[in-house]
Amino acid sequence: MKTKHPAPLSITSLAAAGVAALALLMAGCSSSGGGSGANPQPSGGGADTPVTPPPPGAAQTAPTAKVTEGAGNTVVSAGNAVSEIGKSIQEAPLPLLPTDARKGAGGVVVNAGEAVGALGAGVRDGLGQMGSVDNPLGVTVSSSGNVVREAGDAVVSGGELVKGLGTEKLAPLAPLTTPVGGLVKKVGTAVQGGGDKLQTVLSDGAVAQVTNSLSEVIVPLSSKVTDGTQTLGATTRLGSPTDGLLYKVGNTVATGGSMLSNTQAPVVSPLGGVVTETGKTVAAVGVLVNGNGQSGGNPLGGLLNNLPLAGAGNGQSGDGSQGGNALGPVGALLAPVTGLVGGIKSGVGGSAGGSSGGGDGKPQLPILGGLLH
């Protein structure tokens, strides 16, 4: 005799299994999506670990890294300027020089500039990121392989230059220039290959271990040295005014570089980037003596307010206003000299009765007045 009880049990079992599977699915979705909320929680596995450091990594960068990064950017800009000059040579109409030779000569300059740029990029991306990359010294050292490769490209272009000297009107020289140019190109190709091998050697193995060990010493050491200079700046109360002065001068230089870039002149314009990056680097140096960084306020106020002659002259505020003058940055740098001369004149005569608003009767010298605005 057949019974019908197993059928309801099977339905119940299936329903229970379905509920359990749904619960497991929901739990799995909740676990995998835990990082998508407003306050994501770190996962336990290593697969979700980001390759690049999180945004707070900038705060972990060593204080000297900004200055080093700026120096690297300056070298990169110098390389770009050289390359632009090389491109101008390639495009310049030179009647006495065959076209192939002219392109080869320009190629030598272009590749030389790229070699300089590769050197600067290695400094920028390595030591310029101390504290935010694992082995900054290793990155800089291994980049020398790129420098050698770019140098090989320049040698190859040199071979094209030599070979091009035997073309067009100078074709009678071809029996000499063609083999010599080919030999030079072979040397350049060998240098290129050597650069690739050098980069591989410097990036892996024992060299990488050495640079990594040195990086573990350099990064904290640079931070300690900067802490010392910042403490010295705070103790002497010279850190903030020095930072402000460097910030002001650096921005002025950077503005001048932008003006050069906007001229669109063949040789002058590429140099604008070098001047701009130099100004940025100068502006960043102040962090080495001022832990709070430049806030954009009075650059020398903290120092001058503590001096007996720090008060502002009555006529200074009227003359110190600099309107929309295009030469304002230059005037700001010349103002310390003109302000000092004028202050000496007014200070000598004002000690007797020129201080109508103050009670101390001390001579007022608007020293560095232009930089205080």
| Domains of the chain, residue spans | 60-228, 237-301, 307-351+360-372
Q: Is the per-residue pLDDT at 83 higher than 80? A: yes
Torsion sign over Cα 98, 100, 102, 105: negative
- CB burial class (10 A; 0-12, 13-18, 19+) of residue 73? buried
pLDDT number for residue 95? 82
Alpha carbon distances (Å) from 88 to 80, 83, 165, 262, 268:
12, 9, 19, 17, 12
Query: How many C-beta atoms lie closer than 10 Å to residue 365's C-beta?
Result: 24
- Split at pLDDT 50, 70, 90, the class of 86 is very high
Q: Of the candidates 69, 120, 78, 68, which has an alpha carbon nearest to the alpha carbon of residue 276?
A: 78
Average pLDDT over residues 119-147: 95
Alpha carbon distances (Å) from 134 to 130, 203, 221:
8, 13, 15
β-bridge partners, 130: 133
Identify whether the C-beta of residue 157 lies closer than 8 Å to the C-beta of residue 107: yes
pLDDT number for residue 63? 75
φ/ψ of residue 133, rounded to 5: -125, 160
| Stronger pLDDT, 109 or 37, i.e. the higher one | 109
Residue-wise pLDDT for 227-248, tens only, equals 999 999 999 999 999 999 999 9
CA pair distance 328, 352, nearest whole angstrom: 34
Q: Is the per-residue pLDDT at 3 higher than 60? A: no
Q: Is the per-residue pLDDT at 204 higher than 80? A: yes
CA pair distance 370, 106, nearest whole angstrom: 45
Q: Of the candidates 141, 60, 154, which has an alpha carbon nearest to the alpha carbon of residue 104?
A: 154
Give the position of tokens 């030389």: 112
Q: Is the per-residue pLDDT at 357 higher than 50? A: no
- CB proximity list for 339: less than 8 A, separation 6 or greater: 316, 366, 367, 368, 369, 370
* Alpha helices (H) along 33-143: 57-60, 63-91, 99-125, 136-142
Give the position of tokens 């980037």: 273
pLDDT number for residue 266? 81
Q: Is the per-residue pLDDT at 320 higher than 70? A: no
Residue-wise pLDDT for 329-348, tens only, equals 444 444 443 444 344 334 43
pLDDT number for residue 69? 95
pLDDT number for residue 294? 53
User: Both tokens of residue 341?
Assistant: 């001369």
Residue-wise pLDDT for 244-260, tens only, equals 999 999 999 999 999 99
CA pair distance 180, 173, nearest whole angstrom: 11
CA pair distance 309, 361, nearest whole angstrom: 11
Q: Which amino acid is at 189?
A: T
pLDDT > 90: percent of the chain: 54
pLDDT number for residue 345? 39
Average pLDDT over residues 138-146: 95
pLDDT number for residue 183? 97
